[in-house]
Amino acid sequence: MHYTGMKTAEAALHRLCDPEAKVSSHYTVDEDGTIYRHVSEDRRARHAGISWWAGAKDINSNSIGIEIVNPGHEWGYRTFPLEQIDAVIVLSRDILSRHAIPARNVVGHSDVAPDRKEDPGELFPWQQLAAAGIGLWPKASHAVLPVSHEKALRRYGYGIRPDAEASLDKVIIAFQRHFRPAKLDGVFDAECESILAALLAKLDGA
């Protein structure tokens, strides 16, 4: 999941369709819910860049990229409209009906490239998607991690140096942006620990 990070939908669509830009995605979802298909799902799109998730490098080669129209942090980041998120849910369910994608592999650009990217950002409603069967969301708990938070973040899927480019603090912010967006400080506190422990428990139970 990405946001387009451009001033207008038109500008984003133009760039995604421009061969000279060397960037592409499989789909774009406009703010009114219109879905554009750019690249067939059986072909590689260039949407993730240098990236890492759950031991996999070159995420472009084994993922489906969805661009979601939003100006992003540079141009006036704003809440995603309900019509847009409804369309993202419909599209994602359709994709999941065709591909055996584990729930933990429904991720944002910032999850796979935390040293470079912030999208789709802290306003993206991951919890709403998880409630619709798309991705994971933890239940409230007071669980603690049996290992260090660095090892636990690696186990969930995040890439941390030396395996990937991102430093631990960048990965913690990416984790917070996805699962605890109210506080993006890079400090792995007790709330982060309980969230991550609950997520890992979901993996163990899957």
Domain parsing of the chain, residue ranges: 2-205
Residue 16 has pLDDT above 60, yes or no: yes
pLDDT for res 96: 98
Note the pLDDT tens digit of each residue in 146-158: 999 999 999 999 9
pLDDT for res 141: 87
Residue 106 and residue 158 in contact, taking contact as beta carbons nearer than 8 Å: no
For residues 190 and 141, which has the higher predicted lDDT (pLDDT)? 190
- pLDDT class for 203, splitting at 50, 70, 90? confident
Residue 59 and residue 48 in contact, taking contact as beta carbons nearer than 8 Å: yes
Q: Is 28 strand, coil or helix?
A: strand
Residue 125 has pLDDT above 60, yes or no: yes
Write out the DSSP string of 151-199: HHHHHHT---TTTSS--HHHHHHHHHHHH-TT--SS---HHHHHHHHHH
pLDDT for res 205: 61
For 27, other C-beta atoms within 10 Å of its C-beta total 24
E strand or H helix that includes residue 82: helix 82-98
Three-class DSSP labels, 94-129: HHHHHCCCCHHHCCCHHHHCCCCCCCCCCCCCHHHH
Residue 57 has pLDDT above 70, yes or no: yes
Superfamily of domain 2-205: Peptidoglycan recognition protein-like (3.40.80.10)
- pLDDT class for 204, splitting at 50, 70, 90? confident
**Is 122 designated active site?**
no
- Residues of the chain above pLDDT 70, percent: 99
Q: Is 56 strand, coil or helix?
A: strand
Measured distance CA(192)–CA(159) in Å, rounded: 17
Note the pLDDT tens digit of each residue in 156-174: 999 999 999 999 999 999 9
> φ and ψ at 146, to 5 degrees?
-80, -10
Residue 117 and residue 171 in contact, taking contact as beta carbons nearer than 8 Å: no
Residue 6 has pLDDT above 70, yes or no: yes
Given the residues 10, 20, 67, 193, select the one marked as catalytic.
67
Measured distance CA(172)–CA(189) in Å, rounded: 10
Q: Give the dihedral sign, CA 170/131/205/101.
A: negative
Across the range 94-104, mean pLDDT stands at 97
